[in-house]
Chain A
């Protein structure tokens, strides 16, 4: 038996696909003295990897997940454990037919081969499928299966060949020790203690349990996925290798059928969500099969048998084929379906590498290994950052409620704006009741209830009839209302009041505050007190890491205002880059401040009713902030706008928010001010102005030059990503972010269709556009531009297409629509001179 080393550069807990992959990539990146532990035996320690169905569909709507899957597939191929089988998603309903078209279209955006098939076409590939029960299918020829246990073994061996890794099987982690200042100090195991500064938890469904030993939380829950194996299948007798027919996903029934040698595996996500607390997972000794292969509950699966028999009546209905294996397999689910990666916010040195499927494991191993090595991961994994969670999102109640809700949507038709129903409301603004009274339709971000639009404004529909670009199809009008466009027009005409309480607000204070913000911000932060700076943060490689505004409130006081969704990650980023000498501190003051936005030509006049301070443009110009007295309260006002209008962001203590809101409301009445929702703020207003959004246009794979966000000068002071930024500026951009307008919305059936984002942009000849870095052009954001009367799309285009007036095509749900490049670069389509914001 291997001796347990008493010291390690890093201890990786868990030898599933993720832990093995992490060990290998760390070794490859030069780490030595690594230790990989598992409480179970090798090569199958009993976690979810051991019972995975091991197939990989390349198609994902999330770019991050798609890229992690793509990288993983390449790694599996390189390891020689990938077998291509092809895979088909079949449709039993019209709604699913549209969804499959959408998936094929999305595949084109990512450069993934996909083909739409008729029922007969499906049957040709899967002769045992009854094509009378389906309407069609989407065929993904690059789908394949892998041997994930073998892959793990090979990766482990490679790390050992590099003399970098000690593998200790049968070592159960008993505790994680910390230093006095809370850093990781070591791991105590049943086979000895190991001193280390770095611990990576790759424990899948056990991760929350292990993290808790160190006082950290990993928000995931084990949940049951049922699978049976039926055999022997006569047709598969004599099949070469593991699989000879495409994998079928019967997505309308939340099932899949996958050949595995002489058997057919049938898996289901259709049953009731069965959540198992991490503490209730049996030990290896107690388990009948393995700890994550829990006893099968046939009641839950039985209804699915009929569905499976419908689809493959002869093959599965063979009386001589028996259910030879049936499990309630445990898998991990997170509140948002994404993995949980990165250093835990609670314990420096403790990393979470959890909630991965087989299809992302190696990619995640690589990305996190890079991250742990101080190298910016090639795949932008900010959507998987463990820091994204707010405290309430890490509670067991929240995690399990969301897992319960999401489980049956595993193969569901999930709208891009789909809203969660469970665990709401949690965070509400001080005027939540007022908003409800106004008929607010709330969408949730980071737990905040944000009005998307107000039903109360429906009388505006008549007023703006003809300009509302109303959507006829159910799909595009889902989670949407023409009232958004009406609110937009009212704002442009007069004024609108926004509730922006979901902003995350972070104060950076102390003698080193300036140094701290200079270090992370691209923009020059040595600015006068009262200046508002819009800036990006870059990662070490120069990729875009954040997009936010910073107010200088005092010589040693800066206030960062950022989106609620990214607030926690930005907090961690700033915190990680604070000066080592303790001269600056960052504090999350989100819960102290509420924020309203007042914008529109009448904004100043309305605000004047509440204040005697001089708020004229000369005294209070654009890009500045100052305290004003308003309605007997002190309010921090900021001349800034994300909607391209004159106006203010108004910050005040949360308990005073209601008073200001009501005062603004009554003052605004005479001016025709309306309350407006995030539909205007986040989509229509910003798209007309070409404002970029983090996570849509802005991510680590595009740079500021390509996004058209460079400033004339680069500041002298050093900042994170500066070297990369300088390189980016020195080279011509490989792509340029453009605003496109849709020229004709009519589909073949004559219905007007409106893109929602993610669609591939094609040449006028219908060919995908690929830039010099191999990135395909796709729609990063889409939405109405009511003031310009066009449906607007943002997309990065290769320079040769990035010319105003260039005619192109956009493919949407399988059909192509003509579009035109309206603007190349950041010039707004609406008010190109930016006169309104500066008025």
Chain B
């Protein structure tokens, strides 16, 4: 009997959140889908532009003689909090495309709103119920929080911000994770009866190279000492891993059974609960905006943002800023893009007068296209951006606004 991997999935208005899709990718590679299925999956996944993680893991599982000794990990259960609803079937269908083998809906009368400890308690019980090998969650506010509570409840370690993972032995896991919000990668060994992982919420910054070998000599938790470490591949480095899935990919989906799970909760588990408050809905979220016009030190002062706001308006987007802008008090912190601000994933990030410090780039590495406007042709952002205009933003942006308005006027 193989042990499934549980993956916490956040569903928003029937859509699987992008961050959860990334979590699913890692969970899937961890679940080591049956090698026999890999061939089947290959055609579909590859044709959908899906990454190599599953395939590589599957190939690995077949090629690696050590895999015979590996624990039987198999099956991928998506855990979604909330009562069954009209959209469950659609979600199940979507999840099937992600290699999920079970959709487990967690619901109980007490769970009327988000309660982090209660969620963790539910998953703790689900681990037992399913004999789960691992729990994976997106490193979102909720995902990270729930897994941390789960770690505390179970006494298990949690590996945060993973980008790749593989089982390498009994209670042993190899993984690669972000440090410094993705500016560094760490290859690590996790020793735990159940692996608890969060998956970096950004587009994955990993080059898919082999995990570094363990230095056996001082390796207190070395698993099997079986020679070279298995090379596992992560979801590919393009950052475009699973985004296409929701767009009606024609992947042959197996039927995904939808189950429900009602946790047994104590009052203490519900001590902390979220109550939705006002303010939701009206505007556009920086995190989800399709266009972000970014402003940095080069804007020069609080007055310089009017032009950026105007441009953002024309492009159907919002303004984001770098940390220096908020620490100078030029703009409110809620507009900050970066490691300690908001992480964005727009179609276009137009970075104006932003040099591209690590802290900032950590927040915009999921942007599909980055265009930089900067006086300095050698600012770090130039090696992250796809296009650049060399020049003073205070000259370029008004000209761009005028040009867009003119074009709009003609149209």
A and B held together in a complex? yes
Complex: A50 Cα to B193 Cα, angstroms: 55
Tell me if B376 is interfacial: C-beta within 8 Å of chain A.
Answer: yes
Residues on B with beta carbons closer than 8 Å to the beta carbon of A39 = 378
> Are A1 and B390 in contact, with the CB atoms below 8 A?
yes
Tell me if A78 is interfacial: C-beta within 8 Å of chain B.
Answer: no
> Could you mark each residue 127-170 of chain A with 1 if its beta carbon is under 8 Å from any beta carbon of chain B, else 0?
00000000000000000000000000000000000000000011
Complex: A169 Cα to B380 Cα, angstroms: 14
Residues on A with beta carbons closer than 8 Å to the beta carbon of B379 = 41
Residues on B with beta carbons closer than 8 Å to the beta carbon of A170 = 376-378
Min Cβ gap A250→B in Å is 30
Residues on A with beta carbons closer than 8 Å to the beta carbon of B380 = 285
Tell me if B375 is interfacial: C-beta within 8 Å of chain A.
Answer: yes
> Are A169 and B376 in contact, with the CB atoms below 8 A?
yes
Complex: A284 Cα to B376 Cα, angstroms: 12
> Are A41 and B390 in contact, with the CB atoms below 8 A?
no
> Could you mark each residue 271-291 of chain A with 1 if its beta carbon is under 8 Å from any beta carbon of chain B, else 0?
000000000000011000000
Tell me the residues in window 340-392 of chain B with beta carbons closer than 8 Å to chain A beta carbons: 375-380, 390
Complex: A284 Cα to B379 Cα, angstroms: 9
Min Cβ gap A68→B in Å is 31
Tell me the residues in window 1-58 of chain A with beta carbons closer than 8 Å to chain B beta carbons: 1, 39-42
Q: Which residue of B lies closest to A41 (CB)?
A: B376
Tell me the residues in window 167-202 of chain A with beta carbons closer than 8 Å to chain B beta carbons: 169-170
Min Cβ gap A237→B in Å is 16
Prevailing SS type, chain B contact patch: loop
Complex: A285 Cα to B380 Cα, angstroms: 7
> Could you mark each residue 254-296 of chain A with 1 if its beta carbon is under 8 Å from any beta carbon of chain B, else 0?
0000000000000000000000000000001100000000000
Residues on B with beta carbons closer than 8 Å to the beta carbon of A41 = 375-379
> Could you mark each residue 94-119 of chain B with 1 if its beta carbon is under 8 Å from any beta carbon of chain A, else 0?
00000000000000000000000000
Q: Which residue of A lies closest to B356 (CB)?
A: A285
Residues on A with beta carbons closer than 8 Å to the beta carbon of B377 = 1, 41, 169-170
**Which among B375, B376, B380, B390 has the highest number of chain A CB atoms within 10 Å?**
B376
Complex: A1 Cα to B59 Cα, angstroms: 47
Residues on B with beta carbons closer than 8 Å to the beta carbon of A284 = 378
Complex: A40 Cα to B355 Cα, angstroms: 12
**Which among B375, B376, B378 has the highest number of chain A CB atoms within 10 Å?**
B378
Residues on A with beta carbons closer than 8 Å to the beta carbon of B378 = 39-41, 169-170, 284
Instruction: Tell me the total A-B contact number using a CB cutoff of 8 A.
Output: 18
Min Cβ gap B353→A in Å is 12
Residues on B with beta carbons closer than 8 Å to the beta carbon of A40 = 378
Tell me the residues in window 297-332 of chain B with beta carbons closer than 8 Å to chain A beta carbons: none
Interface size class of A (residues with CB under 8 A): under 10
Residues on A with beta carbons closer than 8 Å to the beta carbon of B375 = 41
Q: Which residue of A lies closest to B380 (CB)?
A: A285
Complex: A162 Cα to B378 Cα, angstroms: 26
Complex: A462 Cα to B212 Cα, angstroms: 84
Complex: A560 Cα to B376 Cα, angstroms: 54
Min Cβ gap A248→B in Å is 28
Residues on A with beta carbons closer than 8 Å to the beta carbon of B390 = 1
Min Cβ gap B357→A in Å is 8
Complex: A41 Cα to B376 Cα, angstroms: 6
Min Cβ gap A40→B in Å is 7
Complex: A285 Cα to B375 Cα, angstroms: 16
Complex: A170 Cα to B379 Cα, angstroms: 9
Complex: A41 Cα to B381 Cα, angstroms: 13
Tell me the residues in window 357-371 of chain A with beta carbons closer than 8 Å to chain B beta carbons: none
Complex: A380 Cα to B379 Cα, angstroms: 41
Min Cβ gap B107→A in Å is 49
Min Cβ gap B5→A in Å is 39
Complex: A285 Cα to B377 Cα, angstroms: 13
Residues on A with beta carbons closer than 8 Å to the beta carbon of B376 = 41-42, 169-170
Q: Which residue of B lies closest to A285 (CB)?
A: B380
Min Cβ gap A288→B in Å is 8
**Which among A40, A42, A285 has the highest number of chain B CB atoms within 10 Å?**
A285
Complex: A753 Cα to B376 Cα, angstroms: 60
Min Cβ gap A369→B in Å is 27
Min Cβ gap B325→A in Å is 16
Q: Which residue of B lies closest to A40 (CB)?
A: B378
Residues on B with beta carbons closer than 8 Å to the beta carbon of A42 = 376
Min Cβ gap B376→A in Å is 4
Min Cβ gap B316→A in Å is 31
Complex: A40 Cα to B375 Cα, angstroms: 12
Min Cβ gap B382→A in Å is 9
Min Cβ gap B154→A in Å is 39
Complex: A270 Cα to B4 Cα, angstroms: 65
Q: Which residue of B lies closest to A1 (CB)?
A: B377
Complex: A40 Cα to B380 Cα, angstroms: 11
Min Cβ gap A153→B in Å is 12
Q: Which residue of A lies closest to B355 (CB)?
A: A41
Complex: A170 Cα to B380 Cα, angstroms: 11
Residues on B with beta carbons closer than 8 Å to the beta carbon of A1 = 377, 390
Complex: A39 Cα to B377 Cα, angstroms: 11
Q: Which residue of A lies closest to B375 (CB)?
A: A41
Complex: A39 Cα to B378 Cα, angstroms: 9
> Could you mark each residue 751-771 of chain A with 1 if its beta carbon is under 8 Å from any beta carbon of chain B, else 0?
000000000000000000000
Tell me the residues in window 83-102 of chain A with beta carbons closer than 8 Å to chain B beta carbons: none
Q: Which residue of A lies closest to B390 (CB)?
A: A1
Complex: A557 Cα to B405 Cα, angstroms: 85
Q: Which residue of A lies closest to B377 (CB)?
A: A1
Complex: A42 Cα to B377 Cα, angstroms: 10
Min Cβ gap A84→B in Å is 28
**Which among B375, B377, B379, B390 has the highest number of chain A CB atoms within 10 Å?**
B377
Min Cβ gap B78→A in Å is 41
Q: Which residue of A lies closest to B388 (CB)?
A: A1
Residues on B with beta carbons closer than 8 Å to the beta carbon of A285 = 380
Min Cβ gap A683→B in Å is 56
Min Cβ gap B355→A in Å is 9
Min Cβ gap B37→A in Å is 45
Q: Which residue of B lies closest to A190 (CB)?
A: B378
Min Cβ gap A230→B in Å is 17
Min Cβ gap A341→B in Å is 29
Q: Which residue of B lies closest to A44 (CB)?
A: B376
Min Cβ gap A403→B in Å is 31
Q: Which residue of B lies closest to A172 (CB)?
A: B378
Q: Which residue of A lies closest to B379 (CB)?
A: A41
Complex: A41 Cα to B297 Cα, angstroms: 15
Complex: A39 Cα to B376 Cα, angstroms: 11
Complex: A1 Cα to B376 Cα, angstroms: 9
Complex: A169 Cα to B379 Cα, angstroms: 11
Complex: A502 Cα to B25 Cα, angstroms: 78
Complex: A1 Cα to B380 Cα, angstroms: 15
Min Cβ gap B183→A in Å is 11
Complex: A42 Cα to B379 Cα, angstroms: 11
Min Cβ gap B226→A in Å is 39
Complex: A42 Cα to B375 Cα, angstroms: 8
Min Cβ gap A480→B in Å is 56
Complex: A284 Cα to B377 Cα, angstroms: 13
Min Cβ gap A141→B in Å is 34
Q: Which residue of B lies closest to A43 (CB)?
A: B375
> Could you mark each residue 108-147 of chain B with 1 if its beta carbon is under 8 Å from any beta carbon of chain A, else 0?
0000000000000000000000000000000000000000
Min Cβ gap B7→A in Å is 37
Q: Which residue of B lies closest to A2 (CB)?
A: B377
Min Cβ gap B180→A in Å is 13
Which 5 pairs of residues, A with B, have the shortest CB-CB distance?
Answer: A170-B378, A41-B376, A1-B377, A41-B378, A285-B380
18 contacts between A and B (CB under 8 A): A1-B377, A1-B390, A39-B378, A40-B378, A41-B375, A41-B376, A41-B377, A41-B378, A41-B379, A42-B376, A169-B376, A169-B377, A169-B378, A170-B376, A170-B377, A170-B378, A284-B378, A285-B380
Given A41-B378, A170-B376, A170-B377, 15 more A-B residue pairs with CB atoms under 8 Å apart are A1-B377, A1-B390, A39-B378, A40-B378, A41-B375, A41-B376, A41-B377, A41-B379, A42-B376, A169-B376, A169-B377, A169-B378, A170-B378, A284-B378, A285-B380
B contact set with A: CB distance below 8 Å: 375-380, 390
